[in-house]
């Protein structure tokens, strides 16, 4: 590899930042994929609630969290812009921008679309003799379209199609004579949402359940005849409980569980033979179904691959919001652990949100992450 900046890439792509660590005398074994930026929370609302959102009340960012929720939107059209400076403790020029819209077609159907752009900053390249080869700016993006349909008064389904492009390897890169190139992939997602009005504490409330299997798609590679990497196929399952305190005050509590549906790296001996686990050179379908039973450490390691996101939101008069949350990932599977907080303010048809992340480890590169979101509602009350 001819990049002096490759260590930056390792820190840019999600839990790889913690992958080569030793925890309590044991090597960690996180699940690694291509384009992990797809699982970076884009919006400040969920960003302030511990990165949970698959079962929250319907909103414009349903295109990311759970497209099936769009069928329950009470506005005919929503749009938003979101911006996240990313890993600012490591590189000052890395950021993610996300733009999307959702439109209610009629009482039962809705469509949405989004574009997610991840800029990884400026990288300087050298050859094996430390000869300067130039500089370039790696980047990645994804474009998707979604359709949601309400099947009855409480239940809906959603489907998403996505195109993914990743240009993190410069044209001057080579490994064993194999030239580097950009990668691309096609993916799909399927989601479900259930919501029901209930009475809690003598007031109106709402219980919701959501699930989303995202980014089921073709593999990606960056070198001719190189390794094919899985997309970050992810299973999200969550619940949310929303209840009123009085005529103006409303609380929401939510919990998400997340698990990658890709092979876990096996335990390999010095001679390259597999000591425990299974080969991760599998088909997409085999990788998804085998991801529940392929960990080298057996069932106990499979449980460690589940991460948890919990959050709370207080909303006053549908105008002012305060939020907090916590995210936990097992130390052997990435070790991302952080608290979040955020706030939002609505003025007429516009909502401004921001969130702030505080990591539990001082060396966590995610520490002090900020997110900003500006959302718009149009046509309220049409459906």
pLDDT at residue 279 in the model: 83
Q: Which domain holds residue 138?
A: 8-378
Percent of the chain at pLDDT exceeding 70: 87
Cα 282 off chain centre by: 23
pLDDT at residue 137 in the model: 83
Mean pLDDT of 200-226: 89
> pTM of the prediction?
0.87
* 363 in a structural domain: yes
Mean pLDDT highest for which of 3-7, 62-66, 166-170?
62-66
* 342 in a structural domain: yes
Instruction: Please tell me the total count of domains within the chain.
Output: 1
CA distances to 121, 225, 280 from 178, rounded to whole Å, are 25, 7, 22
- What is the domain-level CATH number for residue 187? 2.40.160.40
Angle 258-264-266 from CA coordinates, rounded to 5°: 160
Distance CA 63, CA 116 (A): 11
* 371 in a structural domain: yes
More confident residue, 125 or 95: 95
Is the pLDDT score of 238 beyond 80? yes
pLDDT class for 348, splitting at 50, 70, 90? confident
* 383 in a structural domain: no
pLDDT at residue 178 in the model: 58
Take residue 45 and report the two structure tokens written for it: 């609302």
* 290 in a structural domain: yes
How does pLDDT run across 350-383, given as a tens digit for each residue?
999 999 998 877 667 788 889 999 999 887 644 4
pLDDT at residue 5 in the model: 41
Take residue 32 and report the two structure tokens written for it: 């690694």
Distance CA 175, CA 83 (A): 34
Distance CA 259, CA 235 (A): 5
More confident residue, 92 or 17: 92
* 1 in a structural domain: no
Neighbours of 373 (CB within 10 A): 26
pLDDT at residue 324 in the model: 97
Distance CA 182, CA 170 (A): 8
Beta bridge mates, 326: 310, 339
pLDDT class for 177, splitting at 50, 70, 90? low
Mean pLDDT of 272-280: 83
How does pLDDT run across 1-35, given as a tens digit for each residue?
344 343 334 434 444 433 334 444 456 888 889 99
pLDDT class for 173, splitting at 50, 70, 90? low
* 2 in a structural domain: no
pLDDT at residue 27 in the model: 66
* 285 in a structural domain: yes
Mean pLDDT of 139-146: 96
- Computed over every residue of the chain, the mean pLDDT equals 86
Mean pLDDT of 311-324: 95
Mean pLDDT of 123-146: 81
Mean pLDDT of 172-197: 82
């Amino acid at each position: 590899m001819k990049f002096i900046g490759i260590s930056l890439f390792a820190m840019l792509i999600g839990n790889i930042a913690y992958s080569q660590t030793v925890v309590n005398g044991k090597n960690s074994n996180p699940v690694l994929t291509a384009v992990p930026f797809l699982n970076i929370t884009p919006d400040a609302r969920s960003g302030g609630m511990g990165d949970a959102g698959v079962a929250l009340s319907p909103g414009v960012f349903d295109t990311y969290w759970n497209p099936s929720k769009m069928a329950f939107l009470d506005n005919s059209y929503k749009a938003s812009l979101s911006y996240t400076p990313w890993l600012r403790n490591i590189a000052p020029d890395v950021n993610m921008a996300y733009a999307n819209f959702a439109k209610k077609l009629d009482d039962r159907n809705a469509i949405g679309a989004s574009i997610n752009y991840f800029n990884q900053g400026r990288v300087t390249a050298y050859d094996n003799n430390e000869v300067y080869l130039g500089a370039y700016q790696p980047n990645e993006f994804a474009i998707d379209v979604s359709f949601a349909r309400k099947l009855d008064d409480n239940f809906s389904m959603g489907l998403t199609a996505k195109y993914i492009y990743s240009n993190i390897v410069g044209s001057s890169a080579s490994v064993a004579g194999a030239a580097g190139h950009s990668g691309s992939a096609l993916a799909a997602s399927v989601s479900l949402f259930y919501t029901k009005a209930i009475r809690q504490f003598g007031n109106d409330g709402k219980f919701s359940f959501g699930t989303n299997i995202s980014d089921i798609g073709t593999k990606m590679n960056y070198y001719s005849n190189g390794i094919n990497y899985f997309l970050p196929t992810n299973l999200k399952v969550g619940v949310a409980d929303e209840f009123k305190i009085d005529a103006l005050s409303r609380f929401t509590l939510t919990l998400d569980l997340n698990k990658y549906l890709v092979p876990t790296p096996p335990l390999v001996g010095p001679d390259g033979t597999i000591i425990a686990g299974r080969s991760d050179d599998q088909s997409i379908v085999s990788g998804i179904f085998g991801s529940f039973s392929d960990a080298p450490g057996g069932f106990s390691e499979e449980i460690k691959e589940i991460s948890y996101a919990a959050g709370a939101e207080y909303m006053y008069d549908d105008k002012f919001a305060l939020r907090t949350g916590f995210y936990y990932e097992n130390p052997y599977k990435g070790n991302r652990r952080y608290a979040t907080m955020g706030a939002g303010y609505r003025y007429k048809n516009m909502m401004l949100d921001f969130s702030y992340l505080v990591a539990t480890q001082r060396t966590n590169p995610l520490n002090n992450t900020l997110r900003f979101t500006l959302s718009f509602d149009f046509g309220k009350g049409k459906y």
